DNA sequence: ACCCAGGTGTTTC
DNA sequence: GAAACACATGGG
């Protein structure tokens, strides 16, 4: 079977929660705003994303129809602060088109039946087929927009597990994710806990600039309990 | 001036 | 697969 070491993900979650408290990760007015933020924050500091979201709100265009219809120059100007703005304009439009094809979301917290009907893996593949949605953005969307269980295998998560000397950490995003996800007992986690876990990891990551920082962080001394 | 940030797609081997 | 590259602004 699998010789690789088990990861006590739940213990790690509780350790982080006890020391860092709730993170209030990814606040937003609507699910749509979370999705737009997920694309804009690709390889970009969150502060630059807030600038763009504020500009879009001020222009009253933070909705799928408006973004899809805006002239290139206008959209570029609104999201310029997030970098890669020409590329991200294409990505935003691709997502908005997909979003519009789902039909109207009558209320912000209403997830369309079309989406509710499919299982997690099918929805993930569907999201990955959207231009500009790679593995990490797909997991952001699953977790924070569609309330599905997901482990976001981002840079901070990788650094955390490297600090913990987890064996055989795959190099690719997908490999890393598939190394960790099966070790989470999804039935024992609520969606808010999945969300909080990612928030805690990234909040910790922001405070750790160097490998030395990580080695002095709260997770450094953590030892996985024996199975 | 340099490095990094809540990555993705394309090309090439 | 996996490595190299383009994409780009803003803050430390």
Q: How far apart are CA A158 and CA A133, in angstroms?
A: 20
Q: Does any strand C atom come closer than 7 Å to the Cβ of A209? A: no
Q: Judge contact between A115 and A102, C-beta under 8 A.
A: yes
Q: Does any strand B atom come closer than 7 Å to the Cβ of A38? A: yes
- Bases of chain B with protein Cβ within 7 A: 4-9
For the stretch A26-41, pLDDT in tens is: 989 999 999 999 999 9
Q: How far apart are CA A20 and CA A41, in angstroms?
A: 23
Q: Does any strand B atom come closer than 7 Å to the Cβ of A85? A: no
Q: Does any strand C atom come closer than 7 Å to the Cβ of A129? A: no
pLDDT exceeds 80 at position A98: yes
Q: Angle at Cα A11 formed by Cα A182 and Cα A190, nearest 5°?
A: 65
CA of A7 to C1' of C12 (A): 35
Based on the number of CB atoms within 10 Å of its own CB, is A127 exposed (0-12), middle (13-18) or buried (19 or more)? Answer: buried
Q: Does any strand C atom come closer than 7 Å to the Cβ of A46? A: no
- Using alpha carbons, list the distances in angstroms from residue A50 to A12, A152, A220: 30, 21, 32
Q: Judge contact between A28 and A62, C-beta under 8 A.
A: no
Spell A26-64 as b/e; 16+ CB within 10 A means b: bebeebbbbbbbbbbbbebeeebbebbbebbeeeebbbb
CA of A141 to C1' of C5 (A): 27
Q: How far apart are CA A222 and CA A55, in angstroms?
A: 43
For the stretch A128-156, pLDDT in tens is: 999 999 999 999 999 999 999 999 999 99
pLDDT exceeds 80 at position A118: yes
Residue written as token pair 């799928």: A64
- Looking at residue A176, its pLDDT comes to 97
CA of A104 to C1' of C1 (A): 40
Mean pLDDT in chain A? 94
Kindly report whether the global pTM for this prediction surpasses the value 0.85: yes
Count of CB atoms situated within 10 Å of the CB of A222 = 16
H-type alpha helices, A59-119: 64-69, 72-79, 85-101, 113-116
Q: Does any strand C atom come closer than 7 Å to the Cβ of A55? A: no
Q: Which residue is nearest to nucleotide C9 (CA to C1')?
A: A83
């Amino acid at each position: 079977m699998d010789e690789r070491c088990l990861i006590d993900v739940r213990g790690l979650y509780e350790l982080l929660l006890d020391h860092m408290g709730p993170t209030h990760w990814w606040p937003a007015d609507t699910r749509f705003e979370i999705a737009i933020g997920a694309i804009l924050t690709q390889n970009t500091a969150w502060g630059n994303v807030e600038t763009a979201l504020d500009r879009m709100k001020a222009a009253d265009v933070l909705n799928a129809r408006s973004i899809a219809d805006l002239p290139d120059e206008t959209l570029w100007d609104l999201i310029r602060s997030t970098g890669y703005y020409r590329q991200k304009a294409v990505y935003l439009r691709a997502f908005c088109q997909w979003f519009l094809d789902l039909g109207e979301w009558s209320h912000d917290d209403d997830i369309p039946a079309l989406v509710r009907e499919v299982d997690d893996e099918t929805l993930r593949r569907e999201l990955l087929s959207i231009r500009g949605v790679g593995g990490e953005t797909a997991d952001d969307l699953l977790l924070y927009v569609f309330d599905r269980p997901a482990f976001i295998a981002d840079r901070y998560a990788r650094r955390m597990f490297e600090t913990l000397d987890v064996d055989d950490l795959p190099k690719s995003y997908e490999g890393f994710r598939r190394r960790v996800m099966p070790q989470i007992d999804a039935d024992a986690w609520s969606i808010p806990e999945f969300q909080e876990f990612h928030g805690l990891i990234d909040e910790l990551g922001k405070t750790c600039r160097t490998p030395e920082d990580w080695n002095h962080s709260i997770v450094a001394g953590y030892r996985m309990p024996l199975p």
